[in-house]
């Protein structure tokens, strides 16, 4: 086994994973500490992915774009030891504004040998609503501080100008700055590890080995793709229809040509005036994820795989938005794109693929001031059900495809915000029927313990649900309801912002997965 | 007076007895009756139980039962609205790039029909919002009785802050079903996050159902033979704890056996870093050692069950002598139901007796090479995940199967040398012999460091120190975080802290050393444990015999395979297998 290249890949993977663990252990923001909403990676000096931590696949496409944008602004030969770069600009490789990427060059002597990069969902970066994910945003200027690729630090840390900027823009500057420090520390630790490997191998040999690693992963990918039929294979999915918004459809045609996966998204809807658009990192994550499910668990996971992906994206569309589109709630659009991609890939590799999963997750944020007047803010992600099949029922209440966020426990939530989680249950019967049933969704029931709690709810699949496979049925759709203290009921839409007062109850129900095969 | 260490494995029990006169080792097949096997071992070694000073035990029986996902008559009582906590897990999935999403939650620990919700609620401060619902309790008791449940796990929200409701519920169950074993979450794992605490307390109940009866039989058999010494168990940290501690915290029984072998591996790391593999009949356990101590983790994962407690940092793969081998899409693999065993391949190559006719469509050499490759890959991945460069560390291999593969694994990793502990075929029992006896006391604190007065700390430490016997130096093991809601981290102090401020300084220094930044908060102290470790003398290792220089070379227990081109030598505490000079 243990040829030198495999060992090198494992060592680099280990460094990326150590970065990730640092973020998860040290971050203050609950959505990172509890929900694992962060990602870390190492890159070559010219921006090719070297190693990736086991993180949320939704972020797979984020760091390559952010690193590319930083290199576009600050070419490698202009980087200096100790430099710190950041960006959160969705239109320069990012995802949405709370995700700030921190990139640091790794030098061995005078030679730039690698880049470390981390991305972390920060608690608040300004904008019209606490948490910086306003469900009613119609353009990016509503969503918070947009940071283009910038040099913001040196070996002493972040500059005073940058920390002042964060202090001025964020409702939770201490938390954001603390978590940025954590990203900085993770990068420094990785740099130390990379330098040690380079020292062991000799810098020139190390750099040659990195190229060989990328070439090998590319060769493996070509071999895997060459074993698949050429296609094209088509997939399509869409967000719930919203009055006066226009369709939000993702269409993809996947073709395998010359050992290359070409994903053509033309036919997808034009961008809309709602925060559900996604930028290029979204389809890149979806296609990269789809390809990783094909190459197997022993494949080298690096930019060699990315070399074999070609994206063809319509401009100013929901899958490739242009300024000034709002994008904060892009997650469910990425889920749609991923569903479409997996539909297409399942035609190429049918035996391994289950029925469609719920294709959604909720992002729920509670904010306000507690009894002492201190501000609170907590964000959580609630999954739906997995698709049934191909050999068993789907799992209930589980993060699927590009999601892998963890839930927030009642004991953590209630210690943070004046909310009581009355129940966290499997939503029985919400999975689609089938020979293998779709996994059920989740029902979470919250009670407000004080007045004036702002709840931001971003969900999906209220109307349009996943389709069953091979005769299986569709699941129940999502639902969200407020039951006021006086008994009045308010049915919420997929993207809602409500204020909860003492005694109000919020019930969140996620969609299940689709069924597989005709029910017996 | 003698001491005896016994490691009950899946196929064999290893007995190591020692006294001033030396050391004796016995390996016997196990029958499934632990008490009978123990008595038979005592008789075979001609040991009188009444003359035993200590009996040290570990067993892989519960771990293997967990691996087999064997159901036990266990029930779970949880807060109303939270009966699905186990099935929902943390919502994440086990394998990111498997298109079929599978939860890593160990849902097999309790059947859905044995899960009952109980009305009643505490808030985050521990204040009671709603009393326990008597109707729910009565319904649960009826269900427990109807299903003939043997062990009950109770996990109520915020019980770690205020245990009153769990205690009251336990009292009601005990009154109705006195023969049922009860596990309470605030006693087993007094820390926040209900999923993790549910798993901890269910594991304890599952172990009660699986292990209480056989261990009671062991105690009875010993008592009947006049045993008046001390019964000790190897725990997941690679130390020995009292029988009372094992009864109170049964997770010890899960992690003790692999940790005992890891202890033997760690003893080879006095001068540096060791990565170790203990390859037995069913699985291979990997661990690290540094400066003579096993690598530790704040959490463990055993047979798919996450354990939230400090334990030896062990990772296992499905590789062992009885694993069957077959062809898969990427070559030979060891997770098939039909086909020759790894042991058959080793026998065909003369490394084990009783070779039958080899009739597989691949050669035994290919099987051994595939096993060595798989182990080498896993060790490399395990080490690099812990920021250990496998090229700079020493490799240690042990276990009955491991000793026959050690050179192959070293070669697959590109190494010229591999260490094996003394008696590598009985490494668990040897680890038990070498382990320290730990006497410890624990207290939850749950206070910000700024609120911890020097007087209160003094009084607490006086009490904890007073509960520790033995002769070793006192050690202070603190669990704390920068802020209350953050994940706990360990802080080990060799000297008694005088104040919260002193603890804060030590925590900040450790935090900076590990993460390179100041902690993002003033410090919150969850708990303090105080302990002493006491080690006894162990007999010297036997000389190597004058037999052949290569091939199978016998040790005190188990044979080492030394291939052509390699040389076996002995140090004071281990064997060294290295390539001969070319």
**Which residues in B30-136 belong to E strands, given as ranges?**
52-59, 74-79, 115-118, 121-122, 128-130
Least confident of A379-388, B62-71, B111-120, B342-351: B62-71
Q: Which residues of B touch A193 (CB under 8 A)?
A: 387
Identify the sign of the CA torsion A331, A334, A339, A345: negative
Q: Do A397 and B521 make contact, defined as CB atoms within 8 angstroms?
A: no
Residues of chain B contacting A30 with CB distance shorter than 8 Å: 485
> Within 13 Å, how many C-alpha atoms sit on residue A41's CB side?
27
Q: What angle do CA B397, B403, B405 make, to 5 degrees?
A: 85
Q: Which of B167, B189, B314, B170 is nearest to B251 (CA)?
A: B189
Strands B74-79 and B52-59: unpaired
Contact residues on chain B for A22, CB-CB shorter than 8 A: 515
Please judge whether A6 and B377 are an interchain contact, meaning their C-beta atoms are less than 8 angstroms apart: yes
Per-residue pLDDT at A1: 45
Q: Using one digit for the tens of pLDDT, what is the confidence trace for B103-148?
A: 999 999 999 999 999 999 999 999 999 999 999 999 999 999 999 9
The CA distance from A289 to A334, in Å, is: 11
Q: What are the chain A neighbours of B378 within 8 Å (beta carbons)? A: none
Cβ–Cβ gap A394/B101 under 8 Å: yes
**What residues in B contact A200, CB-CB < 8 Å?**
389, 391
Bridge partners of residue B128, in order along the sequence: B122
Q: What is the pLDDT of residue A511?
A: 97
Q: Angle at CA A325, nearest 5°, toward A319 and A329?
A: 70
Size of interface A-B (CB pairs under 8 A): 188
Chain B contacts of A11, Cβ < 8 Å?
384, 389
Contact assignment for A185 to B516 by CB distance below 8 Å: yes
Optimal mutation site among B516, B518, B521, B524, interface A, most CBs of chain A within 10 A: B516
Interface test with B, best of A4, A9, A11 (most B CBs within 10 A): A11
What is the distance between the alpha carbons of residues A413 and B525, in angstroms, rounded to a whole number?
A: 20
HSE-up of residue A209 (Cα within 13 Å, Cβ side)? 23
d(CA B233, CA B244): 10
- pLDDT score of A335: 92
| Whether A507 contacts chain B with CB within 8 A | no
pLDDT, tens digit, 9 for 90 and up, residues B356-386: 788 888 999 999 999 999 999 999 989 988 8
Taking the C-alpha atoms of A153, A154, A160 and A165 in order, what is their torsion angle to the nearest 10 degrees?
Answer: 0
User: In this predicted structure, what is the pLDDT of residue B165?
Assistant: 98
Q: What is the dihedral of CA B37, B38, B40, B44, to 10 degrees?
A: 130
**A contact residues 213-272, partner B, Cβ 8 Å cutoff:** none
From the options 3.30.70, 1.20.1070, 3.30.420, 3.40.50, give the CATH code of B256-325+333-433+559-579: 3.30.420
What does the DSSP 8-state code read for residue B113?
G
Residue B21 has pLDDT above 50, yes or no: yes
Three-class SS string for B308-329? CCCEECCEEECCCCCCEEEEEC
Q: What are the angstrom distances between the C-alpha of B110 and each of A502, B85, B248, B365?
A: 37, 12, 21, 43
All residues of chain A having their beta carbon less than 8 Å from the beta carbon of residue B78 are none
Nearest to A60 by CA among A49, A75, A73: A49
B3: left (phi over 0), alpha (psi -120 to 50) or beta: beta
* Count of C-beta atoms within a 10 Å radius of residue B349: 18
Average pLDDT over residues B174-193: 95
Judging contacts by C-beta atoms under 8 Å, the chain B residues touching residue A202 are: none
Residue A32 DSSP one-character state: H
What pLDDT does residue A244 have? 86
For residues A478 and A94, what is the distance between their CA atoms, to the nearest angstrom?
A: 28
Q: In the prediction, which pLDDT does B330 show?
A: 67
| Terminal alpha carbon distance of chain A | 46
Asked if A353 is an interface residue toward chain B (Cβ–Cβ < 8 A), one would say yes
Phi then psi dihedrals of residue B205, to 5 deg: -65, -40
Contact residues for B513 (Cβ-Cβ < 8 A; gap 6+): none
Give pLDDT tens digits for B198-229.
999 999 999 999 999 999 999 999 999 999 99
Predicted pLDDT at B304: 84
> Is any Cβ of chain B less than 8 angstroms from the Cβ of A36?
yes
Nearest to B155 by CA among B128, B125, B182: B182
| A407 closest CB neighbour out of B91, B100, B520 | B91
The ipTM of this complex is 0.88
In eight-state DSSP terms, residue A313 is -
Task: Specify the residue for token string 């049915």.
Answer: A491
Q: Do A15 and B81 touch (CB under 8 A)?
A: no
CB A467 within 8 A of CB A359: no
B57: burial class by Cβ within 10 Å (0-12, 13-18, 19+)?
buried
Q: How far apart are CA A290 and CA B548, in angstroms?
A: 56
For residue A7, the chain B residue with the least C-alpha distance is B380
* Contact yes or no for B261/B399 (Cβ under 8 A): yes
CATH fold for the domain made of B70-212: Rossmann fold (3.40.50)
Distance from CA of A65 to the nearest CA of B (A): 21
Contact A28 B124 (CB under 8 A): no
pTM score of the predicted model:
0.89
pLDDT at A295: 82
Asked if residues B393 and B269 have their Cβ atoms less than 8 Å apart, the reply is no
Token readout for A294 is 């094909």
Set of chain B residues whose Cβ sits within 8 Å of the Cβ of A415: 124, 192, 484-485
What b/e readout covers B85-116, taking b as 16+ CB neighbours within 10 angstroms?
bbbbbbbbbeebbebbbebbbbbbbbbeebbb
Q: Which of residues 66 through 125 in chain A touch B, CB cutoff 8 A?
A: none
**According to the model, what pLDDT value does residue B582 have?**
58
Residue A201 near chain B (CB below 8 Å): no
Query: Is A417 an interface residue toward B (CB < 8 Å)?
Result: no
Average pLDDT over every residue of B307-315: 88
pLDDT in tens, chain A (520 residues): 457 888 899 999 999 999 999 998 888 887 787 778 899 999 999 999 999 998 888 888 889 999 999 999 999 999 999 999 999 999 999 999 999 999 999 999 999 999 999 999 999 999 998 889 888 899 999 999 999 999 999 999 999 999 999 999 999 999 999 999 999 999 999 999 999 999 989 999 999 999 999 999 999 999 999 988 998 999 999 999 888 899 999 999 999 999 999 999 999 999 999 999 999 999 999 999 999 988 877 788 999 999 999 999 999 999 999 999 999 999 889 999 999 999 999 888 777 889 999 999 998 989 999 888 888 888 899 999 999 989 999 999 999 998 888 999 999 999 989 999 999 999 999 999 999 999 999 999 999 999 999 999 989 999 999 999 999 999 999 999 999 999 999 999 988 989 999 999 999 999 999 999 998 8
* Banded pLDDT at B435 (limits 50, 70, 90): very high
Is pLDDT of B405 > 50?
Answer: yes
pLDDT of residue B416: 92
Q: How far apart are CA B310 and CA A65, in angstroms?
A: 40
CA distances from A327 to A47, A471, B462 (A): 25, 35, 58
Give B501-552 pLDDT, tens digit per residue: 999 999 999 998 888 888 988 999 999 999 999 988 888 888 877 666 889 9
Is there a contact between A11 and B389 if contact means CB atoms under 8 Å apart? yes
In the predicted structure, residue B251 carries a pLDDT above the cut 90: no
Contact B81/A298, CB-based, under 8 Å? no
Q: Is B206 exposed, middle or buried (0-12, 13-18, 19+ CB in 10 A)?
A: buried
> Of B101, B387, B517, which is closest to A357 when you measure between CB atoms?
B101
What value does the mean pLDDT of chain B take?
92
Q: Does A370 touch chain B (CB under 8 A)?
A: no
């Amino acid at each position: 086994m243990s040829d030198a290249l495999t060992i090198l890949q494992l060592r680099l993977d280990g460094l990326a994973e150590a970065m990730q663990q640092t973020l998860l252990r040290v971050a203050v923001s609950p959505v990172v500490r509890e929900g694992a909403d962060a990602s870390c990676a190492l890159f070559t000096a010219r921006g090719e992915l070297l190693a990736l931590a086991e993180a949320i696949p939704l972020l797979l496409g984020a760091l390559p774009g952010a690193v590319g944008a930083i290199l576009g602004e600050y070419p490698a030969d202009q980087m200096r030891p100790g430099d710190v770069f950041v960006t959160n600009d969705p239109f320069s490789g990012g995802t949405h504004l709370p995700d700030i990427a921190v990139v640091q060059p790794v030098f061995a002597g005078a030679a730039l040998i690698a880049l470390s990069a981390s991305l972390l969902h920060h608690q608040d970066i300004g904008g019209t609503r606490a948490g910086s994910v306003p469900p009613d945003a119609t353009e990016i200027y509503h969503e918070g501080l947009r940071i283009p690729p910038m040099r913001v630090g040196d070996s002493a840390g972040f500059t005073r100008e940058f920390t002042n900027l964060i202090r001025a823009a964020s409702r939770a500057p201490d938390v954001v700055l603390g978590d940025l420090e954590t990203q900085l520390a993770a990068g420094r630790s990785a740099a130390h590890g990379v330098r040690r490997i380079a020292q062991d191998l000799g810098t020139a040999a190390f750099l040659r080995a990195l190229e060989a690693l990328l070439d090998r992963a590319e060769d493996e990918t070509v071999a895997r793709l060459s074993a698949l039929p050429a296609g094209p294979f088509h997939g399509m999915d869409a967000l719930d229809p919203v009055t006066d918004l226009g369709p939000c459809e993702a269409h993809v045609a996947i073709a395998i040509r010359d050992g290359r996966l070409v994903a053509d998204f033309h036919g997808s809807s034009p961008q809309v005036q709602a925060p559900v658009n996604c930028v290029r990192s979204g389809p890149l994550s979806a296609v990269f994820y789809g390809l990783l499910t094909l190459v197997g668990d022993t494949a080298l996971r690096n930019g060699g795989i990315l070399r074999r992906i070609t994206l063809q994206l319509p401009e100013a569309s929901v899958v490739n938005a242009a300024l000034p589109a709002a994008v904060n709630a892009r997650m469910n659009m990425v889920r749609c794109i991923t569903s479409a991609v997996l539909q297409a890939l399942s035609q190429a590799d049918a035996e391994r693929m289950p029925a469609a999963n719920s294709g959604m997750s909720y992002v729920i944020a509670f904010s306000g001031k507690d009894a002492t007047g201190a501000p609170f803010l907590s964000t959580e992600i609630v999954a739906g059900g997995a698709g049934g099949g191909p050999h068993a029922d789907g799992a209930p209440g589980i993060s699927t495809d590009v999601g892998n966020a963890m839930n927030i426990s009642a004991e953590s939530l209630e210690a943070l915000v004046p909310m009581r989680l009355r129940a966290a249950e499997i939503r029985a019967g919400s999975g689609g029927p089938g020979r293998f049933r779709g996994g059920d969704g989740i029902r979470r029931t919250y009670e407000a313990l004080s007045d004036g709690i702002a709840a931001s709810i971003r969900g999906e699949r209220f109307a349009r649900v996943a389709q069953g496979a091979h005769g299986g049925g569709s699941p129940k759709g999502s639902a969200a309801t407020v039951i006021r203290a006086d008994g009045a009921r308010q049915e919420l839409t997929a993207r809602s912002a409500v204020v909860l007062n003492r005694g109000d109850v919020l019930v969140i129900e996620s969609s299940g997965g689709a069924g597989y095969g005709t029910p017996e | 007076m003698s001491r005896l260490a016994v490691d009950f494995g899946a196929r064999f029990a290893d007995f190591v007895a020692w006294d001033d006169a030396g050391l004796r080792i016995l390996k016997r097949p196990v029958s499934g009756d632990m008490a009978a096997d123990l008595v038979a071992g005592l008789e075979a070694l001609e040991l009188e139980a009444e003359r035993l000073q200590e009996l040290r035990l570990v067993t892989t029986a519960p771990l293997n039962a967990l691996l087999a996902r064997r159901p036990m008559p266990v029930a779970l009582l949880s807060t109303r609205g939270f009966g699905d906590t186990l099935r929902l897990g943390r919502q994440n999935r086990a394998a990111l790039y498997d298109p079929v999403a599978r939860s890593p939650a160990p849902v097999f620990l309790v059947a859905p029909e044995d899960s009952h919700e109980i009305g009643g609620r505490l808030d985050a401060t521990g204040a009671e919002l709603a009393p326990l619902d008597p109707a729910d309790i009565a319904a649960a008791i009826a269900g427990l009785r109807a299903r003939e449940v043997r062990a009950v796990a109770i996990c109520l929200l915020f019980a770690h802050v205020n245990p009153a409701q769990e205690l009251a519920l336990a009292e009601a169950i005990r009154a109705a079903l006195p023969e049922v074993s009860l596990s309470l979450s605030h006693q087993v794992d007094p820390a926040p996050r209900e999923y993790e605490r549910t798993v901890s307390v269910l594991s304890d109940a599952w172990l009660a159902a699986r292990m209480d009866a056989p261990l009671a039989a062991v105690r009875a058999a010993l008592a009947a033979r006049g045993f008046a010494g001390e019964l000790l168990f190897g725990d997941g940290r690679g130390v020995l704890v009292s029988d009372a501690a094992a009864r109170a915290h049964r997770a010890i029984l899960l992690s003790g056996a692999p940790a005992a072998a890891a202890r033997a591996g760690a003893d080879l790391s006095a001068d540096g870093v060791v990565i170790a593999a203990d390859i037995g009949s069913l699985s291979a356990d990997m661990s690290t050692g540094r400066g003579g101590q096993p690598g530790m983790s704040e959490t463990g994962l055993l047979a798919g069950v996450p354990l939230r407690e400090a334990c030896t940092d062990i990772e296992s793969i499905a590789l062992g002598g009885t694993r069957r081998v077959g062809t898969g899409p990427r070559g030979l693999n060891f997770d098939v139901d039909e086909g020759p065993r790894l042991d058959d391949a080793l026998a065909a190559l003369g490394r084990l007796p009783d070779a039958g006719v080899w009739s597989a469509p691949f050669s035994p050499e290919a099987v051994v090479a595939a096993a060595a490759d798989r182990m080498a890959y896993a060790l490399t991945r395990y080490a690099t995940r812990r920021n250990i460069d496998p090229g700079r560390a020493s490799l240690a291999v042990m276990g009955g199967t491991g000793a026959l593969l050690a050179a192959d694994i070293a070669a697959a990793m590109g190494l010229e040398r591999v260490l094996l502990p003394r008696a590598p075929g009985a490494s668990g029992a040897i680890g038990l012999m070498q382990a320290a006896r730990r006497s410890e006391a624990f207290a939850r604190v749950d206070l910000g460091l700024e609120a911890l007065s020097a007087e209160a700390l003094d009084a607490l430490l006086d009490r904890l120190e007073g509960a520790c016997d033995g002769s070793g130096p006192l050690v202070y093991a603190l669990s704390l975080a920068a802020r209350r809601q953050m994940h706990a981290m360990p802080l080990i102090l060799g000297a008694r802290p005088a104040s919260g401020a002193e603890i804060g300084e030590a925590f900040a220094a450790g935090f900076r050393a590990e993460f390179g930044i100041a902690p993002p908060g003033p410090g919150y102290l969850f708990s303090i444990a105080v302990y002493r470790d006491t080690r006894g003398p162990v007999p010297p290792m036997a000389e190597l015999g004058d037999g052949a220089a290569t091939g199978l070379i016998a040790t005190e227990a188990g044979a080492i395979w030394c291939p052509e081109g390699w040389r076996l030598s002995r140090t004071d505490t281990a064997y060294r297998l290295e390539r001969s000079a070319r």
